Amino acid sequence: YFKSNTVAFLDGEFVQADQATCGVYAQSLHYGYAVFEGIRAYNTPQGTQIFKAQEHFERLQYSCRVIGLPLSYSVEEMTEITYELLEKNNLTDAYIRPLVYAATPNMSLKCPTTSNLLIAVWDWGKYLGDQCLRLTVSPYERPNPKAVPIEAKVAGHYVNSIIASTEAKNRGYDEALLLDMNGFVAEGPGANFFFEKNGELFTAPAGSILRGITRNTIIDLAREAGITVHEKFFRPAELQGATGAFMTGTAAEVVGVESVDGESFAKPFKETLGAMLAEQYQALVTGAGALRSRPLAERQA
């Protein structure tokens, strides 16, 4: 993810990325007790713009708050630091990974009183690739929201994502589709799921999913285009008769779904609403729409 001269931000300093280390007694390492974000910056006509920086850094603060991990940086500070970091790395299009963790050696199960902040950036293509995905319903469920705060982007939750994704690949599929504890379709290991039926879109409601920022963007774009979007619980059987489907996420962007457990959707992805929204999403993130998240200094000017 980083070439030899890559710079990262670590606890108030810009450092060589390969020099940024963490001790083996760090509390976060032992208990998966850390939170992170996945953000993208795009090269736009107005220069490099971090897409929805505010929403992402606010979610990072939210994730810290719900698990009791202190974070002493404001949204504006983290945004400014990230712009500076992108500049230092000469990156215009980039994936941005802030990680808040507890590096202090501590084997207790008490919330730490201090935390560490890493921000790493790298050049990363669409996480799930460009090709339409062959999904499979996973034997692993998403974590029960009564057990862990599933709307927070907690490092430890991604054990579920890794094992579900690996299991799907081991059975020859591209990616997993996970159900919630009630058997309703929730989301992928690192992306939300939508399907199209009778010209309308359907996606899982808040509750057992990470409410993706891309998901929100797509819902806004669809509604602006006059498309009805239902946020409702649905079972895998309801995918029968669907015209198309897609997944959304910051890293994955908008990627078509070809089939679920070998059942293909009625239309090729390029003829579906998902393809139209994927195009609109690209136009938004690389165009004037990204302006909402320009640096504080410029916003105040």
Query: How far is Cα 50 from Cα 44, in angstroms, rounded to an integer?
Result: 10
121 binds ligand PMP (CB under 6 A): no
**Catalytic residue, candidates 153, 169, 197, 270:** 153
Question: Helix, strand, coil proportions of the chain in percent (round to 5)?
Answer: 30, 30, 40
274 touching ligand PMP, by CB under 6 A = no
- The nearest distance, CB 19 to ligand PMP, in angstroms, is 27
Q: Which of 131, 242, 151 is nearest to 194 (CA)?
A: 242
DSSP state of 266: S
Query: Strand runs (DSSP E) across 58-174, as ranges?
Result: 94-101, 116-122, 133-141
> Are the CB atoms for 248 and 40 separated by under 8 Å?
no
Give the residue, chosen from 187, 196, 253, 258, that forms a contact with ligand PMP under the rule CB under 6 A. Answer: 187
Of the candidate residues 204, 210, 242, 273, the single one contacting ligand PMP (CB under 6 A): 210
Is residue 212 at the binding interface for ligand PMP, with CB under 6 A as the rule? yes
* 197 is known as an active-site residue: no
97 binds ligand PMP (CB under 6 A): no
Half-sphere exposure of 294 (CA within 13 A, CB side): 17
Does 99 engage in binding with ligand PMP (CB under 6 A)?
no
Segment contacting ligand PMP by CB under 6 A, of 6-14, 42-50, 95-103, 186-194 = 186-194
Which is nearer to ligand PMP, 40 or 294 (by Cβ)? 40
User: DSSP of 152-197, one letter per residue?
Assistant: S-BGGGHHHHHHHHHHHHHTT-SEEEEE-TTS-EEE-SSSEEEEEE
Inter-residue contact 165 to 175 (CB < 8 Å): yes
Please say which residue, 197 or 215, places its beta carbon nearer to ligand PMP.
Answer: 215
Which listed range, 13-21, 65-73, 83-91, 205-213, lies at the site for ligand PMP (CB under 6 A)?
205-213
Q: Which stretch binds ligand PMP (CB under 6 A): 84-92, 106-114, 198-206, 209-217?
A: 209-217
Interface mask toward ligand PMP for 230-249; x: CB under 6 A: ------------------xx
In the Cβ-directed half-sphere of 63, how many Cα atoms lie within 13 Å?
26
Q: What amino acid positions are annotated as catalytic residues?
A: 153
Chain contacts with ligand PMP (rule: CB under 6 A): 38, 161, 187, 190-192, 210, 212-215, 248-250
